[in-house]
Amino acid sequence: MTDRPADDALPPALARVFAPLHKRAFGMAFGLACALVMFGVTAGYLLRQPSPGFELGLLGQFFYGYTVSWSGAFVGAAWAFVVGFVAGWFFAFCRNLFIATWIFVTRERAALEQGRDFLDHI
């Protein structure tokens, strides 16, 4: 006999751990965070104007239209939002796929293990 509950239900705290992430919401949150960081870094650079300076202008190679200026800060924030959204959506997709696959494999292994001694009882 085992000490497992008869209904095979997970405790609520554990069920929240394995709950799937909402891909669009996670993408929006991560995109917004990336946009705020991009705008903050550019604005901080423009307000502080460090003498050796960072090469923020190199971001224009990746983000079309980005320059180290106030208008460039908005363009960079828009691009950072797009890139962050795609990265967040993809992360949530991969995490959900991994968790679902892991749960499926674990359940199937348990089912095979339960039925392994089936012929011994006949």
pLDDT at site 116: 74
- Report, as an integer, the average pLDDT of 41-65: 85
CB of 23 closer than 8 Å to CB of 89: yes
Lowest mean pLDDT of 3-7, 18-22, 87-91, name the range: 3-7
**Domain-wise residue ranges, the chain:** 23-111
pTM: 0.77
**How far are the Cα atoms of 38, 45, 53, 72, 79 from residue 69, in angstroms, in the given order?**
12, 9, 14, 5, 15
